[in-house]
Amino acid sequence: MRVVCYTRFTSCLFGEENSPDIINQQNQRIKEFVKSKGYKLQTRYSDRKQDINADDAFTEMLNDGLARKYDLVIVDSLYRTGKNLWFAREMLLQTFYPAGIHFAVIEDNFCSISKTYDEVEAFFEEKVSQYHQETIRRRIIDRHKQGLLCWNDLKYGYQMTEDYQMLINPETAPVAEMDQAVCQTILSAREQALKIKAKLEEDGGKEMTSRLSVYEKEIRDLAYKLAELEKERLQIYINQDEDNSRQLELKAEVEAIEKIISSDREKMKTLRKAYSLENPRLKLYLEVDPLKLRLMERSTIRKYLGKVVMDVVTIKRVELLHSEWLLYFPKEWRETDGSKK
């Protein structure tokens, strides 16, 4: 079987990045495929120009195929086969396959050999569908990066202007305004989390050490007292004092002190967590994506929202998650608590 291959620098996928060695990457995958099948490459066609319209090698390959100079053409990806997917479809499906010239697409692990025309056509239909979906997805992401909205971003209660700005629809203003208020509260919580993170990096260790020292001192004092009580209990045991009343009193005091020490140690553990990025409040709100929040997806909002207290249609209070973890920080660190009072 006479085998050839085709590689290309540019991709027809919107926003696809082309690394400088993209041709070499394709050649390497083709080399491995050829070796696995026991083929021998006869000719390599390659459009190496960084130009989406480059097709000299593609045209040469097409003409050689029409002249029956090979039986199988191997490509790494349909998205890098000619100027676009339609050029690839016209050549491989509509021209080559009916003429008995087969093709293999490494990216999709697809080879037309032993495939019916319907199967090959179904393969291209699936690729075209994937192409459209991926192109739409990438264009939306690109617009979002530019701070622009798309029509499919339009949410209930809003209308989009000709310059792609989302404005509140007067007819549904109460609902939309509520969404905006909730989102603004979440954004405020994010700003607060960023501020606290900066404070932690600046002098968080000093502040935490100061707070921990209070518990450490209490534990030391209690440990000394505990040692004295245990000493007294031991003396009573040595003297074989038959009066159990003092023994019971000492036991109760020891258990009470041990309980306090255990509680203090748990508080220290929690304090260390609070003064780190493992703090649940910081961990959650530092990951807030302002762009996604701006789209006001309900699933995104619910991720951060505790509850909303309403008075008919007016918001009285928005409560966010993990607010209790803010109480570990000094008041000046948390000038706003991310909640609308």
Considering only CA atoms, which of 314, 310, 306 is closest in space to residue 338? 306
Q: Which of 57-61, 150-154, 252-256, 314-318 has the highest mean pLDDT?
A: 57-61
Considering only CA atoms, which of 129, 102, 128 is closest in space to residue 115? 102
Provide the pLDDT confidence category of residue 295 given band limits of 50, 70 and 90. low
Confidence (pLDDT) at 137: 78
Residue 267 pLDDT greater than 80, yes or no: yes
Residues 183-193: pLDDT tens digits?
888 888 889 99
Provide the pLDDT confidence category of residue 142 given band limits of 50, 70 and 90. confident
Confidence (pLDDT) at 59: 96
- Percentage above 90 pLDDT, the chain: 49
Q: Read off the pLDDT of each residue in 125-148 and give the average, rounded to a whole number.
A: 78
CB atoms within 10 A of CB 30: 22
Provide the pLDDT confidence category of residue 125 given band limits of 50, 70 and 90. very high
Q: For the ranges 12-26, 138-152, 194-208, which has the lowest average pLDDT?
A: 138-152
Q: For the ranges 48-62, 170-184, 271-285, which has the lowest average pLDDT?
A: 170-184
DSSP 340: B
List the chain domain ranges.
Answer: 3-144, 172-334
Confidence (pLDDT) at 341: 40
Q: Read off the pLDDT of each residue in 144-152 and give the average, rounded to a whole number.
A: 56
Q: Could you give the CA distance from residue 336 to residue 187 in angstroms, rounded to a whole number? A: 11
Provide the pLDDT confidence category of residue 88 given band limits of 50, 70 and 90. very high
Residue 203 pLDDT greater than 70, yes or no: yes
Q: Could you give the CA distance from residue 295 to residue 37 in angstroms, rounded to a whole number? A: 50
139 vs 241: which has the higher pLDDT? 139
Residue with tokens 């050029």: 87
Confidence (pLDDT) at 100: 94
Residue 164 pLDDT greater than 60, yes or no: no
138 vs 168: which has the higher pLDDT? 138
Q: Read off the pLDDT of each residue in 106-118 and give the average, rounded to a whole number.
A: 94
Q: Which two tokens stand for residue 119?
A: 């199967």
Residues 33-43: pLDDT tens digits?
999 999 999 99
Cβ–Cβ under 8 Å, residues 45 and 6 = yes
Interaxial angle between packed helices 205-239 and 244-274, expressed in degrees from 0 to 180 and rounded to the nearest 10: 170
What does the buried/exposed string (b/e) look like for 297-318 if buried means 16 or more CB atoms within 10 Å of the residue's CB? eeebbeebbeebeeeeeebeeb
Cβ–Cβ under 8 Å, residues 318 and 187 = no
Q: Could you give the CA distance from residue 331 to residue 337 in angstroms, rounded to a whole number? A: 10
Confidence (pLDDT) at 18: 82
Structural fold of domain 3-144: Rossmann fold (3.40.50)
Residue 339 pLDDT greater than 50, yes or no: no
